[in-house]
Amino acid sequence: INPDIVRNNFIVTNKSQESKKDEFNIENSLLGKNNYDLHLNDSIKDIKFMDLVFYAPAKKDTKVVNLYDNIKFDEFKFDKILKLKKQSETLNDLELYNNIKLHDETNIFQYNAQGANLINSLNPSFEDGLWEKEVGNCQMEEDIPDISMSSSRDSSEGNKSLMLSSNNGNACTYKTFSIPISSDKSYMLRFDYKNIKGAKIQYYYKLSNDYGKNQEGSKIIDVNDNQWHNYQEIIDPAFNANKLTMYFYARSDQGGATVNLYDNLGLFEFMPKDLYSYYLYTTQKVDESSKLKSIEFKSINLWKDFVVLHGVKDASLLFFPELYSENWKAYPIKSQVESGEFLKSLDKYSVPDVESNRQATRDEVQSMLDQKLISASGSKFVSKNFDGSIRNDNLPDGWFGQTWGKATIPEDTHYEVNNYSNSWWVDVDALCKQQNICHKNDDGTYDISLVIENKYNHWLFLALLISGATLLSCLGYLGYDFARRRKNKSNLISPQPPHRPTSPRNSHSLVSSHNSHPPRHEKPHQPRRM
């Protein structure tokens, strides 16, 4: 009961404020009779009394008799309230309320229910006999089932357990327990079971109330042995209930016999649902301004990006919208902003009409340069400033081996965010003050250059290098072979040396060496007859 909420939100009456406790008539107040002025949001200066009403409401001819006892009204206090005054204050093993501690990493809060079995007095373990006199038939078929139910001395706790047997049907039994069940709490349902034959355990439960609301649950459990086992299930009531109905089964499948034992049924308060509503807060003033001026980037290929963080004031989390993988690495590199190496003339810079909605104009690019939001300029694409994110294709590609052997941002600060993308914790002190690879601006902020690269990019370039070397070797060999063959052919068809007088024998030999046919002998010249 929060008095402030009562003062400001509940319906109150002027009459109740002015009267004494023995003069207040709750019936008239509930009925809203005219002698009480009902109104909302009228703050009460001080609550002087509390009215508590008990009922025994009869319905028509039904008689209702209720008993009430043991009324308490106590003040609730926190044992300890911890205030975190500084953001840099370590959270290691800080003791909070009720022996809860915060650690540097994942914090798990365990709540142990201390309540007893809510149905402990209602024969949950069959020590006082069976729930029903006769076994139930839950098969609902016309054939006469061969089913049975009995009490067994084989129990998990106590002296007795329930035995259900079935040869051609579905033997079942049930019991309805009248107990209060609150929608503000979750409950643990548990029981012990043992399968003798059939390898199937089956149960069903139903929460219900007097207004016709029902919540059901059931499960078939496969069993691999004939030992006692304990089953547990968390129940999350969707409404306030006052009845729990529990069924146990022994169902035979395709004529096979099934024999099951059940024992030690329990329902326990598991934990309050409000537990998930608790949170830590601090009255510390937090600087909600941006921790940097802009993020300038260029996508070099599918596996490599170049990023420049401008005007970084403090450590922050950098998001990288690619599917999370440990293969993605962030490499800090020496800043080249100060040298102005990438600043080129804007004379050839132009914006096509199709890009006018996302590409920055020449004046906008010049304004970004003046504000030191970008570090490169030229004729290539520069996007507009979208919430501090600027794509700039004038940034350098870098050579493929620029990250080989370089240190990365530590992997223990590489996180998955939004169940999808990568992020890295960029520690300004570690990168800029200790490693001295950043550019410090006049206002005390830093510009940090990063190469975000997938490690497979290294293997890609190595494969291309090997492939290129292999290709050059092949081309070199083919060129050498071509030159060698051309030289040999040239030697074969080279021109004959000048004619020298030779003997007929030598001349005949020369001709025969170049022709496959013997020399042709011409006939001697004969004079023409007139």
E strand residue ranges, 182-312: 185-197, 200-208, 214-222, 229-235, 241-251, 258-272, 294-301, 304-312
pLDDT of residue 458: 62
Handedness of CA 12, 13, 14, 18 (dihedral sign): negative
Place of tokens 């507009």: 384
In this predicted model, what pLDDT tens digit does every residue of 472-503 receive, in sequence order? 888 887 877 777 777 777 766 655 555 555 44
Q: How many CA atoms lie within 13 A of 128 on its CB side?
A: 6
pLDDT of residue 457: 65
Q: What is the mean pLDDT of residues 161-178?
A: 93
CA 262 to chain centre: 39
- pLDDT bucket at 334, cuts 50 / 70 / 90: confident
Place of tokens 């034959």: 197
pLDDT of residue 8: 52
pLDDT of residue 503: 47
> In the predicted model, what is the mean pLDDT of the chain?
77
Give the single-character DSSP code of 527: P
pLDDT of residue 77: 56
pLDDT at 469 over 50: yes
pTM of the model: 0.41
For the ranges 31-40, 52-61, 197-206, the lowest mean pLDDT is seen at 31-40
- Long-range pairs of 395-402 with CB within 8 A, sequence gap ≥ 24: 395/296, 395/297, 395/298, 395/306, 395/308, 395/342, 396/306, 396/342, 397/298, 397/300, 397/306, 398/300, 398/306, 398/451, 400/457, 400/458, 400/461, 401/461, 402/333, 402/451
- Could you tell me which residue, 270 or 421, shows the higher pLDDT? 421
d(CA 424, CA 326): 12
Radius of gyration from C-alpha coordinates of the chain: 46
pLDDT at 310 over 90: yes
- pLDDT bucket at 148, cuts 50 / 70 / 90: very high
Contacts of 51 (CB under 8 A, 6+ apart): 16, 24, 26
Spatial CA neighbour of 407 closest among 332, 336, 461, 315: 332
Q: Specify the DSSP element, H or E, that contains 448.
A: strand 446-454
pLDDT of residue 468: 76
pLDDT of residue 112: 52
- Could you tell me which residue, 289 or 420, shows the higher pLDDT? 420
- Could you tell me which residue, 349 or 529, shows the higher pLDDT? 349
pLDDT of residue 28: 44
CB atoms within 10 A of CB 225: 9
In this predicted model, what pLDDT tens digit does every residue of 75-90 receive, in sequence order? 665 444 444 433 334 4
In this predicted model, what pLDDT tens digit does every residue of 216-237 receive, in sequence order? 999 999 898 999 999 999 898 9
CA 42 to chain centre: 47
> With the CA atoms of 376, 380, 382 and 383 taken in that order, what torsion angle do they form, in degrees rounded to the nearest 10?
-160
pLDDT > 90: percent of the chain: 36
pLDDT of residue 290: 80
d(CA 131, CA 135): 10
Q: Specify the DSSP element, H or E, that contains 163.
A: strand 161-166
